[in-house]
């Protein structure tokens, strides 16, 4: 697998597009939608081919909190929490990606991703919720912490 070195902040605004890269699946394949979206995002990270834009693949509340945190990053001219959505650390060199999905019931699916970042084990759990006929990203958990919760914290002063 390819590894790519890039600044985490440069990727933070475009990586989330990988979650929405696939169109809404047919009903029979819907259960795989979150897994395929996360796999697509990490394929882009490995290959260095990000996509632009956001779409309905993100819950409205998570989108609002994410935008607020990105605004914080711009204001303090440093990384806050939004930049940690896909990887940890300042730079990106992701290899050996594997992903699996657990249907938590009640309209929630959790996609767990394991990978190596500069040779060190890392991972994320992407939490998707049912949003009409599609699935929407609603949180990312890593290091035992909810990204939604972390991004809800006040922005530090610049």
Domain ranges of the chain: 6-151
Look up the pTM and report it: 0.74
Q: Interhelix angle for 8-15 vs 60-76, to 10°?
A: 150
For the chain, 158 residues long, give each residue's pLDDT as a single digit of tens.
Answer: 333 334 444 444 444 444 444 344 444 345 448 898 888 888 888 887 766 444 457 899 998 988 888 888 888 777 667 667 788 776 778 899 999 998 888 899 999 999 998 889 999 999 999 988 888 999 999 989 998 998 888 888 76
3-state DSSP assignment of residue 115: strand
Whether the CB-CB separation of 134 and 33 falls below 8 Å is answered with: yes
> For the structural domain made of 6-151, what CATH number should be given?
3.10.450
């Amino acid at each position: 697998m390819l590894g790519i070195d890039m600044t985490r902040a440069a990727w933070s605004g475009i990586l989330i597009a990988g979650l929405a890269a696939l169109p809404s699946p047919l009903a029979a394949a819907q259960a795989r939608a979150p897994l395929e979206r996360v796999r697509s995002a990490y394929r882009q990270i490995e290959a260095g081919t990000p996509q632009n834009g956001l779409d309905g693949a993100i819950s409205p509340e998570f989108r609002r909190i994410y935008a607020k945190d990105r605004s914080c990053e711009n204001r303090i001219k440093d990384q806050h929490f939004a930049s940690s959505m896909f990887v940890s650390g300042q730079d990106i060199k992701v290899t050996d990606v594997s992903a699996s999905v657990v249907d938590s019931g009640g309209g929630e699916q959790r996609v767990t991703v394991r990978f190596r970042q500069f040779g060190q084990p890392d991972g994320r759990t992407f939490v998707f919720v049912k949003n009409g006929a599609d699935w929407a990203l609603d949180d990312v958990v890593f290091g035992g912490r909810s990204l939604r919760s972390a991004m809800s914290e006040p922005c530090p002063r610049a």
